[in-house]
Structure 1
Amino acid sequence: MTLKNFLKKIKLSERTISAFLGILVVVVAGVLLFNFFQSRDEVDFLDEEEISQEKQEETFSSVLPTTHKVSQNENLWRIAEGYYGSGYNWIDIAQANNLKNADYLLVDQELLIPDVAVRWPEADSADEDARVNNYTVQPGDSLWKIAVAVYGDGYQWTNIYEANRSDIGPNPGLINPGQVLVMP
């Protein structure tokens, strides 16, 4: 058989060969997807942090004072959460152990866990006291700048405008120095 005859034969059956290869690709892709999703259901994925947290939870004692042996990837915050239920007690652990650098813990280091009251973050009443009720417009001010200064968010300018619409008028871009605005 010559090369010319062979190529002619392939050309005639090209449609059949393409259909067969297409079906083969679809079947292989289907098998791979099936195996992927089948094996995914069987494997329980846990990262190292979750595993170490589970180990920590098992080792924490509720009787205080006690000692704690530092494990890998532990820090004072996590240790305090384990014993006190609040990470804010890391300060007490650091003070009880005279730690100069609370970020530097060695694996297997023994720490004294003191018997102290649980610390919780205090509500910052200074934020409420510092809240401005009125604002006197300064030269160069805009509602955006005032909103950033008072609320830390320039997009609050619309609330300031709505609260002072009668004093500002229809143009929120036109405010005058010395004008007193109510902060909502």
Structure 2
Amino acid sequence: MDLKATLKAIKINEPTLSTILGAFVILAVGILVINYFRTPGKTGSITPPAQTTAEEAVSQAGTKHTVASGEHLWRIAQKYYKSGYNWVDIAEANNLTNPDLLTVGAELTIPSVPGKQNTVNAPPGQTATSGEPIQTDTYSVVQGDALWSIAVRAYGDGYQWPKIWEANRASILNPNLIYPDQNLTLPRQ
């Protein structure tokens, strides 16, 4: 077969060849995209977090931690100190200029400091809880209430307001907006 006949045969089959090559390109791009977004190390099973005691948490302090995908300083501090409030200590020990920006694979030094407890200090002349403590499992919102103040009265800790929000998510779309006479469920342990 001569060159002219070969070129003529290819010209006739050009749409078929283009379709086949296009399919290979799409397949290759699809595989690359899937591999790019696949998280290494995920096996599809959920493993419970390791339980450590306060003594173990303190003994882990002063070690190195490699930042994993999706981690932030609060979560790392909770892991080592059982308190997210120690994120400031980790940021200072590592001279982080922007604590919100952690690079995956970066190695952080975990300083040997005691775990911090959350505290709420009331200004002089005021009490941390305004109003009577809430002992019931339900509460009717009054004018001026906020989830924080309700959590302080119900649990003695304003940082527990997300528990109230989660229990009432169907009726509270925005945790900053609650209305008088709105009935809330207060989860108790």
* TM-score bracket for this pair, using the shorter chain length: 0.3 to 0.5
- Which one has a bigger Cα radius of gyration? 1
What TM-score do you get using the length of structure 1 for normalisation? 0.40
More helix by share: 1
What TM-score do you get using the length of structure 2 for normalisation? 0.39
